[in-house]
Amino acid sequence: MLAGRRVVGSRYFSEEKISELCEDGPKPEPPSEGSSGELGFVAEQATRASLELADRMEAA
């Protein structure tokens, strides 16, 4: 990555321009308790699946 630049697709944008684009968008709301629990569950499943895949690849 070039200093002060972020790769977006095949183009380079300055950090200042990326910040401007991000400021214009709606601010995300914090997750509710229900969605936090669901996100945690999905993250746990993804972690387990990744570890199982790594074990199978190692055994192959």
Dihedral of CA 45/48/54/59: which sign?
negative
Please state the φ and ψ torsions of residue 28, each to the nearest 5 degrees.
Answer: -70, 145
CB 7 within 8 A of CB 1: yes
pTM above 0.85, yes or no: no
Tell me the per-residue pLDDT of 4-52, one tens digit each, with 9 for 90 and over.
555 555 467 777 877 777 777 777 888 888 888 999 999 999 999 999 9
